[in-house]
Structures are given as C-alpha cells and as structure tokens.
Amino acid sequence: MIFRNIRFKLTLWYIVILGIILTSFSTFLYLTLSRSLYNGIDVKIKSIAEVIASSSTNPYSQYSFSSLDRMLKDSFSLRPVTKFIQVLDESGRIGKKSDNLQNFQLPISIRALKNASQGSITFETTKAFGKYPLRMVTVPVIQGRRVINIVQVATSLEEVEEALKTLLLILWITVPSALGFASLGGLFLANKALKPVDEITKTARMITSSSLNQRIKLKKTKDEIGRLAETFNDMISRLGRSFKQIRQFSADASHELRTPLTILKGEIEVGLRRRRRPEEYRKILDSNLEEVNHMTQIVDDLLFLSKADMGEIHLKKNRINLTGLISEVGTQVKVIAMAKNIRVHISNDSGVAVIGDRLRLRELLLNLVDNGVKYTPEGGEMRISVERDDGRVKLCVLDNGIGIAPEDQPHIFDRFFRVDKARSREAGGSGLGLSICKWIVEAHGGEISVESGVGKGSIFTVTLPLAPPDEGTG
Amino acid sequence: MRILVVEDEKKVASFIKKGLEEENYAVDIAYDGEEGLVLAEINEYDLVLLDIMLPKLDGMEVLRRIRGNGSGVPILMLTAKDAVEDIVSGLDSGSDDYLTKPFSFAELLARVRALLRRKTKEKTDFLTIGDLILSTSTHRVKRGGKEIELTAKEYALLEYLMRNPNRILTRTLITEHVWDYHFDPSTNVIDVYVNYLRKKIDQGFEKKLIHTIRGSGYMIKDEP
C-alpha cells in the first residue's frame, strides 16, 4: 500500500541510490587507506632493513648494535623505537637483536629463509607476540654471491589496525545516519514537490458533470506542476464547453421532436373523441403522416450529425466533376422552383473538378438550393454559379428572398438555430440542414459563408480545394 | 364560454380549436404574442391558453401585460419546456395553471373546466339552477330528472347563462362569451337561440328560469 505512494517510492529510490554511492565510496576509502598504510609500513621497514644490511657486511658475531643504533640515528635522525630488529646468520641462528625485543624473538619462516638463501626479500605478517600482528621483512645480506647474514625488521600493526578500525567505526555510524537524514530530507522534498499534485487530485475528485466550472487553484508557476494544472484546467474548460453543447443539443433535439409529437397526440386524441366522416379521418391521417415524415427527417439529420461528430461518417473521395453535378442538381431544383414560379439561373464554369464524396456534395448543393427556394417568395430569382478562384472552387447560391438579419447571420450554421421557427417548420425543415452543409464543406477542407441583407436576399458561398489536374478525362 | 388560444404552431392551434369547439367553446386563435395581447385586450375571454415560446412577443411577456392591465382572466400556460424555472416564473407572473407539451387533450379539457369553475365557486362539474342541472364534462342537461337534448350552440348559451345566474347578461356579453370573432353582431341570432332554449327548458314547466330584461338582455334565475 505504502509503495503505491509516489513520495515513498521516490524517497526509496533516492535512498537506495545514495546508499550504493556511500557504500562504494566507503569501501573504496577503506581499501585505499588500508593499502596505503600497509604499503607505508612495508616501505619503512624495508628501508631500515636495507640500511642495516648495507652496514652489516661482517658476520653477525662482529656486529655491534651500538654502532647500529648510531647508524640508524644518522640515517633516520632518530632511533625508531617501535621497530624490532634482529640479525641472523645464514643458517637462521639468531645473532643480535634490538633491545626492545627483550626476551622475545622474531620468528623466521622456512619460506623467508629459503627466499633469503636465494637472495630475495620476504614480507610477512605474523602473530608472534602481543595483541597485534607484526609486519616483518626479511632481507639477506649478500657478499660475493654468498648470504652472510639475514636482517629482520618488524613493526607492530597496532597503529594501522587501530586507524582502520576507527575508520570503519566512523563509516558504520556516518553512512547510516547520512542515509537517515537524507531519507527525511528526500521525503520532505517529495512532499513539497507533490503537494500541488494532491491539490489537483482533490479538485479532480470534486469535479462532476454538474460542477465543471471548478478550477484548480495554484500559484502561477511555469514548472511542470504549473503546466499540469494549467493543462488540467484547460481540459475541464473544454469538457465544460462540450457538456454544455451536448446539453443544449439534446434540449433542442427534444424540443424539435416535441412539436410534431404534440401535434400527433393532439390530432389523434381530438379525432378519436367522436365518430367522424371518412374524409375527416383522411385529413387527420394526412396531417399525421406529414408530422411523421418531419420527425423522420429530424431523426435522420440528428443521426447524421451525431455520427459526424463521432467521426463515423467516411467520405468516399473521388474526382467529382462539379459542373456535371450542378447541372444534375439544377434540373431537379428547377422542378421544385417552378411550383413557386422562381427562375433559376445556372452559370457553370466548365470542367471544374474537386476531390470529394459525390453523395455528400450533392446533399450539400440540394440543401443550399432547397433553402433558397424556401425563403424566396413567389416570382423570385435564384442563381447558382461555380467558378475557379485562385486554385480553389467558388460555388455560390444566390437568391433574392427574405434575407437574414445581421444579428442572426453568425448563428445560421448552428444546430437547430432558426430565424423564423414557424416558417421553417412549415417549410418542412429540421433546423439542421445548414449545420449539415457546414459539416460536409469542412469535411472536404472547404469553407462556407453567408452574405445577406434583409429583404434583399442571401448569397451562400462555398469554397473547396480544386482537384489537381487530371491527365484522363478531366 | 369563449377561449383565446395563443399558439404560433398552426397545427397545434388548429387541433386545440377543433377539439374545444367540439366541446361547445367559442375559440379565437392568435399566432403570435402581439396578436394575442391585442385580442385579449379588446375581447372579454373566459380563459386564455398561452404558449410560452412565441414570435414577436414572448408568452411570459404577454402574461405580464395581460395581468398588468388588471385582467383576472384565467390563464393556462402551454409550454414545450418542462423547465421548472419557466413554470415557477409563469405561475408567479400570474398564470393559473400550466401544461407541458405534448399533453393529453382530455387533461387539457379537464383543466379548462377546472379553471372556468373557479369563477362560479362550483366544486364539481355540475351547474344547477333550481331543478335544472348541467354537466360541463358530459354536456348533459336535465330538468326535473328529464334529459333535455340541446344543440352545441344552445348548450354553449345555456352554460354561459348558468355560470352567471341572477345577473343581467347583455347581448354584447353573450356574443363575446358564446360566439367567436367571426360572429356578426348585427343579426338577431342571440334572440333566436334564447327562444330555442326557452322552448326546450321552460316549456311545460310552471316555473320559468330564463327571463327577458326589457331593453337590456337576459337573465337566468330560480326565483320568480
């Protein structure tokens, strides 16, 4: 449980790493120090032994220790009291020894004696007497290829061992306590660094779909946590916006569906309240069918838009001859327009092509044109034009109908936005047509805009990327 | 009983009018808030059905202005929104009741009857004058236990008279509450209908209930 906590994890890692560093450092320190101390002793006893050896070229019997003392004093400026010195003959019998040895004598191993007879020096650590081991060097004195004497110099390792023991003790105390302090410090730092994270967690836990106006309150810093909080706040804002949109959208959708439902329910109920003539029932059923069709349209459009929002509508992109498509739609539109005595002019730049989904582009055109017919009074005029414009295709649908007020223009592509609710419903609109147009245009990498004056008419302009030139049919 | 329906959705207004007229109410329709307010000011209605979302003048505003003019006409709000705030603010601004769309027509009729009843202090659907009983829900009329068959217009006229007993009702008042705005006031239709009613209700009974007040109009009363 505690290891799920990031501050303990961090501290633990910190301690492990610091522990490894301190331990290796201590080991290194200990080993280096002990080696250099031992080496120092070896160098010292060897140099004393060599000085003695160089001066004792006579057999040990003629050896005078008083002169040895004097000589050592000359060489090392003071007599090394802690050094035990012993001179043997070539067979290993003890001749002279220094006073500090008193009754003791330095041992001589077979190996050292053998080495000496071959003229080489031997270093040994031995436990001859006393509490501490002795470090001892055995040096042969050679004269004319013959070993005449053997000089042994030894010193107690007391100081070295004591020094190393003290060092070890110090390390045993300081390393763990350093680690202890470091872990406290590490925990403190981790706490300090992670406190804002706790803050974020607390806020995040409190946020539900109904409280998306909450924000994480942090001092404005540009560090990682500051950025995290900022990102988090941005995310909440975006969530808030989309929640609001969804809420608005479902409210609008249910309202849109409620009107036809009210009509259906009311007409049917009133119809059933008494016995009627067949023509009356027929009239009711006709009206009901109209409402059912209207609801179907709304549901279809809603489904399209929600699929589009989820990215579930895939465009089948092909090279589309826009000129051909417009002629095709134009023929269809003229039939609808004729009923209202509206003249439709089509000015078509030949051979304009785009990359797109034929079905969707057709829907776009029909929606725009149908809209134009709806809001143009009898005897009006409409114009559909397509032209190349700076590497793009500009498609305009123009009418001289009722127009759109400036304050409404920014909203006409919003879902369920209606300039005139009743009028739009009577014309059979779902309130989603222009939203769908906008989606189709944007899915094709284009833009849609409107220019309009009340009573003058409207121009819907769609710009789409021009298809790259085609070697084939074009 | 004359009802004003303020509703911009033509088909909704149309079925409400049809349904109410079949229940012998006189119904006028206004398709926007301004028109509704004007009609409510120039005519005397017994009830107003008011939609909230209206073009030109919002239903809430129409409500406030009707009440601002000092009119106490019962107002039933129709709303597509079931948002509590709308209902609360409607009731606070002086509406008497509300219905959310889509509503059941039977419920609408029941609420209309309930609101019309308030003025007469009746607690049931029955109006009585002496031994004459009228049921506003079934539209059946009995006098002395005998069922009387009435046409829709005769029923509407009798209902209006019975809702206002012991009161002189002028021809203008009767016109306003029993006929809709298509009625031509220059005819003597009212006198003709009152005579029809008299024949069906008072003929054969010693005690006459419908009285002519010379020069003024008509009155229904139990006392001689």
Give the pLDDT confidence of B20-45 residue by residue, as tens digits. 999 889 999 999 999 999 999 988 89
Residue B176 class from Cβ within 10 Å (0-12 exposed, 13-18 middle, 19+ buried)?
buried
pLDDT digits (tens, 9 = 90+) for A219-262: 667 777 788 888 888 888 888 888 887 887 787 788 788 889 99
User: For residue B139, which amino acid is it?
Assistant: H
**What percent of chain A shows pLDDT beyond 70?**
90
Name the β-bridge partners of A137: A123, A153
Name the average pLDDT for chain B.
Answer: 87
CA dist., res. A443 & res. A116, Å (int): 99
**Residues constituting chain A:** 474
| Residue B121: pLDDT band with limits 50, 70, 90 | low
Q: Does B53 touch chain A (CB under 8 A)?
A: yes
- Contact of B161 with B185, CB cutoff 8 Å: no
pLDDT of residue A32: 94
Tokens of A117: 């007879």
Instruction: Work out how many CB contacts closer than 8 A connect A with B.
Output: 61
Residue whose structure tokens are 């047509």: A433
Residues of A in contact with B30 (CB under 8 A): none
| Whether the Cβ atoms of residue B134 and residue B159 lie closer than 8 Å to each other | yes
For chain B, say whether A320 makes contact (Cβ under 8 Å): no
Phi/psi region, residue A130 (left: phi>0; alpha: psi -120 to 50; beta: rest), is left
Is A422 at the interface with chain B, CB within 8 A? yes
Length of chain B: 224
Please state the pTM of the whole predicted model.
Answer: 0.60
CB contacts under 8 A, B 165-184 vs A, are none
Residue for token pair 């909080």: A229
Check CB contact of A280 with chain B, cutoff 8 Å. no
B105–A261 CB contact, under 8 Å: no
Closest chain A residue to B19, measured at CA: A270
Q: Is the pLDDT of residue A440 over 50?
A: yes
List the Cα angle B106/B107/B111 in 5-degree steps: 120
A105: pLDDT confidence band, cut at 50, 70 and 90?
confident
Reference B176, options B164, B117, B33, B150; nearest CA is B164
For Cα atoms B88, B94, B97, give the angle at the middle one, nearest 5 degrees. 65
Q: Read off the tokens for A210.
A: 């109904």
For the ranges A56-70, A109-123, B46-60, the maximum mean pLDDT occurs at B46-60
CA angle B212, B213, B217 (to 5 degrees): 85
Q: In what order do the strands lie in the sheet with B146-148?
A: B126-129, B132-135, B141-143, B146-148
Residue A383 contacts residue A347 (beta carbons within 8 Å): yes
pLDDT of A435 > 80? The answer is yes
- Minimal Cα–Cα distance from A382 to chain B, Å? 28
Residue A174: HSE in the Cβ half-sphere, 13 Å Cα cutoff: 10
Predicted local confidence at residue B137, as pLDDT: 82
Q: Is B105 on the interface with A (CB under 8 A)?
A: yes
For every residue of A309-331, which 3-state class applies, written as one string?
A: HCCCCCCCCEEEEHHHHHHHHHH
C-alpha closest to that of B106 among A270, A38, A212, A165? A270
Greater model confidence, A20 or A387: A20
Q: What pLDDT is recorded for position A474?
A: 40
Would you say B46 and B73 are in contact if contact means Cβ atoms under 8 Å apart? yes
Chain A partners of B53 at a C-beta cutoff of 8 Å?
Answer: 421
CA distance A335 to B213: 66
B-chain residue closest to A256, CA distance: B80
Q: What is the mean pLDDT of residues A424-432?
A: 70
Residue B12 sits at the chain A interface (C-beta within 8 Å): yes
8 Å CB contact of A258 and B19: no
Highest-pLDDT range among A139-143, A462-466, B180-184: A462-466
Q: Report the residue of A269, A281, A285, A425 to disrupt the B interface, i.e. the one with the largest count of B CBs within 10 Å.
A: A269
Two tokens, residue A33: 């120090």
Under 8 Å between Cβ of A42 and A135 = yes
Rounded CA gap, B11 and B7, in Å?
9
- Answer whether residue A66 shows pLDDT above 60: no
Q: B6, B11, B24: best mutation site toward chain A, by most A Cβ within 10 Å?
A: B11
**Alpha helix locations (H) across A273-321?**
278-309
Q: Tell me the two tokens of residue A443.
A: 């899915």
User: Does A62 have pLDDT greater than 60?
Assistant: no
Pick from A88-97, B50-59, B123-132: least confident: A88-97
Average model confidence (pLDDT) across chain A:
83
Torsion of CA A451, A419, A260, A303, to 10 degrees: 40
DSSP string, A44-111: HHHHHHHHHHHH--S-GGG--HHHHHHHHHHHHSS--TTEEEEEEETTS-EEEE-GGGTT------HH
Neighbouring CB atoms inside 10 A of A383's CB total 17
Checking if the pLDDT of B108 tops 90, the result is: yes
> For residues A173 and A85, is the Cβ–Cβ distance under 8 A?
no
Do B10 and A291 count as a contact with CB atoms less than 8 A apart? no
Nearest-CA distance from A302 to chain B in Å? Answer: 19
Res. A217 pLDDT band, cuts 50 70 90: confident
- The torsion of the CA quartet A226, A231, A236, A239, rounded to 10 degrees, works out to 180
pLDDT in the model for residue A90: 72
Query: Is pLDDT above 80 for A314?
Result: yes
| A444: three-class secondary structure by DSSP | coil
Q: Do A259 and B105 touch (CB under 8 A)?
A: no
Distances (CA, A) of A388 to A318, A344, A451, B76: 19, 21, 20, 58
Confidence of residue B208 (pLDDT cuts 50, 70, 90): confident
A259-272 residue pLDDT tens? 899 999 999 999 99
Residue B101 touches partner A, C-beta closer than 8 Å: yes
Does B15 contact A at CB distance below 8 Å? yes
Kindly state the average pLDDT of the residues A158-172: 90
Minimum CA–CA partner of B56 in chain A = A420
Q: Which among A267, A274, A421 has the least Cβ separation from residue B22?
A: A274
Q: Would the CA dihedral through A74, A77, A81, A84 be positive or negative?
A: negative
Taking residues A5-21, report their average pLDDT: 88
Q: What angle do CA A175, A177, A181 make, to 5 degrees?
A: 120
Mention every residue, 6+ apart, whose C-beta is less than 8 A from residue A236.
A207, A212, A214, A215
Question: Which chain A positions have a beta carbon within 8 Å of B16's beta carbon?
Answer: 266
pLDDT of residue B189: 86
Per-residue pLDDT at A268? 95
Q: By the 8 A CB rule, do A57 and A141 touch?
A: yes
**A267 and B CB contact within 8 Å:** yes
Q: How far apart are the first and last CA of chain B?
A: 26
pLDDT exceeds 70 at position A280? yes
Does residue A373 surpass a pLDDT of 60? yes
From the list B12, B18, B81, which residue is nearest A263 (CB)? B12
CA B110 → CA B103, B107, B178, distances in Å?
A: 12, 5, 19
Q: What are the tokens at A316? A: 């089948």
**Residue B15 to residue A421, Cβ atoms within 8 A:** no
pLDDT value of position B111: 93
Q: Which of B53, B80, B104 faces A269 most closely, judged by CB atoms?
A: B104
Closest CA to A155 of A324, A236, A38: A38
